[in-house]
Amino acid sequence: MRYSYEFKRKCVEMYYRGEYPDTPDGIGTARFHDKIREWVRIEEACGSDALRHKNHNKEWTPEERYALVARVLAGESNKSVAFSAGISDGQLYQWVRKYKIYGYNGLIPKQKGRKSKNPYMKKVGTRKPPKPNESEYEELIRLRAENEYMKAEIEVIKKEIALREEKEAARLKAKKQQSSKSSGKTDTN
Q: Please indicate, yes or no, whether residues 68 and 35 belong to a single structural domain of this protein.
A: no
How many domains does one find in the chain?
Answer: 3
The pLDDT assigned to 170 comes to: 93
161 or 40, greater pLDDT:
161
Residues 37 and 67 in one domain: no
Q: Tell whether 189 is covered by a domain.
A: no
Over residues 16-65, the pLDDT tens digits come to 898 888 888 888 889 989 988 888 888 887 777 777 776 557 788 889 99
Q: What is the pLDDT of residues 65-93, one digit of tens each?
A: 999 999 999 998 888 888 778 788 898 99
DSSP string, the chain: ----HHHHHHHHHHHHTT--PPPPTTS-HHHHHHHHHHHHHHHHHH-GGGGSPPSS-----HHHHHHHHHHHHTT--HHHHHHHHTS-HHHHHHHHHHHHHHGGGGGSPPPPSPPPSSTT---TTS-PPPPP-HHHHHHHHHHHHHHHHHHHHHHHHHHHHHHHHHHHHHHHHHHHHHHHHHHHHHHH-
Confidence band of 123 (pLDDT split at 50, 70, 90): low
Contact present, 5 and 53 (Cβ < 8 Å): yes
Does pTM surpass 0.85?
Answer: no
Q: What's the domain range around 167?
A: 134-184
Whole-angstrom distance, CA of residue 51 vs CA of residue 33: 16
Task: Evaluate whether residue 71 is within a structural domain.
Answer: yes
